[in-house]
Amino acid sequence: MTMPFYVPPEQLIKDRAEFARKGIQRGRPIAVVEYDGGILLIGENPNRSLHKTGEIYDRVAFAGVGRYNEFEMLRVAGIRYADVKGYAYARGDVTGKGLANAYSQTLGQIFTHEVKPYEVEVVVAELGDDDNHLFHVRYDGTLRDKQDFAILGGDEERLTEEIASSHRPDMSLEDAVALTTRAIQDATENEIATGDWEAGVLDRSLGRRKFRRLSIDEISPST
């Protein structure tokens, strides 16, 4: 009979976290920031049809970085969760908090129980009548409620500094786009072509479904 080698849990967690973090840092970052009319989700994505941001439900949107197949699975699972809940109860009962908790539990479970943790981080953005919610979920299930903006992937610390220095929640969409595109280019030390951005907004002025994608004309970053 063979016995598995004993690995102390501290070491196991550390190894797994390091593995996941490496995978996520390699990816291109996404910034999710509040502006006066809603929430902007923006990042570099040269793939025109494989999105990193998307609509989950009426007022709830999703952004993910890391391995595409893994966060895409989470996005689809999130839409299913929201649609089933909204159908079984009422549309207003679908909240960002509920979804973020579900993501958190799922990622936490996968982190400890699966062969390999997911190399992803996601943000669940919820547009409220008065105050918005940004939930940041990490690869190990850590869940945080962010104020004003959230950064996913890349050099998170540096990008946070760049954005924190000039972000105001009452800025216009144009200003928010200009700020985030400049900050992401500075933080990644990389010039990004206009067509290589992906951006979506939860726009308070829209009807029931608040999510829409921004056109290239609306993005045109300040260089």
Partner 1 sequence: MTNALPLSPHDPGIIPAASFAALLGRHDLAPTWDVPQGSIESPEATTILAMRWADGVVMAGDRRATAGNVIAHRRVKKVYPADDRSAVAISGTAGMAIELTKLFQTELEHYEKIEDTRLSLDGKANFLARLVRGNLPLAFQGLVVVPLFCGYDEQEAAGKLYSFDVVGGRYDEQDYASTGSGGSEARAFLKSAWSAGLTEPAAIRVAVEALVAASEEDAATGGPDPKRGIYPNIVTVTAQGYREVPDEEIAPIAIDVMEGRP
Return residues touching partner 1 (CB under 8 A).
Answer: 49, 51, 54-56, 73-74, 76-81, 83-84, 86-88, 101-103, 105-106, 109-110, 209
d(CA 151, CA 175): 17
Task: Tell the smallest beta-carbon distance from residue 204 to partner 1 (Å).
Answer: 19
* Nearer to partner 1 among residue 163 and residue 201 (C-beta): 201
Residue 132 buriedness (CB in 10 A; 0-12 / 13-18 / 19+): buried
Beta bridge partners of 34: 39
Q: Coil, strand, or helix at residue 139?
A: coil
Task: Tell the smallest beta-carbon distance from residue 54 to partner 1 (Å).
Answer: 7
The answer to whether 94 touches 127, Cβ cutoff 8 Å, is no
Task: Tell the smallest beta-carbon distance from residue 96 to partner 1 (Å).
Answer: 14
* Nearer to partner 1 among residue 120 and residue 151 (C-beta): 120
DSSP 68-105: HHHHHHHHHHHHHHHHHHHHHS-GGG--HHHHHHHHHH
The answer to whether 176 touches 163, Cβ cutoff 8 Å, is no
Q: Coil, strand, or helix at residue 16?
A: helix
* Nearer to partner 1 among residue 43 and residue 221 (C-beta): 43
* Nearer to partner 1 among residue 78 and residue 153 (C-beta): 78
Task: Tell the smallest beta-carbon distance from residue 86 to partner 1 (Å).
Answer: 7
Q: Where are the beta strands (DSSP E) in the chain?
A: 30-35, 38-44, 53-57, 60-66, 120-126, 133-137, 143-146, 149-152, 197-203, 211-213
* Nearer to partner 1 among residue 122 and residue 159 (C-beta): 122
* Nearer to partner 1 among residue 74 and residue 150 (C-beta): 74
Task: Tell the smallest beta-carbon distance from residue 114 to partner 1 (Å).
Answer: 9
Residue listed under structure tokens 């996913």: 152
Task: Tell the smallest beta-carbon distance from residue 7 to partner 1 (Å).
Answer: 24
